[in-house]
Amino acid sequence: MMVVEAFENSNSNEEALKYLNNLKSFNGVYGEVAINDGILNVPAIKKVLQNGQPIEVK
């Protein structure tokens, strides 16, 4: 979604790429995703099945 948003709100490909290169974080389906040196840091959620139900492990 962030790529679509970048291009929809830009007047050129270069402007969209500049926006994406300067992006430090965004809210995605996994929560807040941080970007450091081009690497996406996505929060992980670990779950196990207990009695057929997913239980989050902390």
Rounded to 5°, the CA angle 13-24-8 comes to 30
- The verdict on pTM exceeding 0.75 is no
pLDDT digits over 3-58, tens only?
898 999 999 999 999 998 888 988 887 788 898 888 888 888 899 999 999 999 98
* Cα–Cα distance list, 32 to 6, 10, 11, 27, 49 (Å): 17, 23, 27, 4, 25
Taking the C-alpha atoms of residue 58 and residue 48, their distance in angstroms, rounded to an integer, is 11
Q: Give residue for tokens 């902390």.
A: 58
**Domain residue ranges in the chain:** 2-57
Cα end-to-end distance, the chain, whole Å:
29
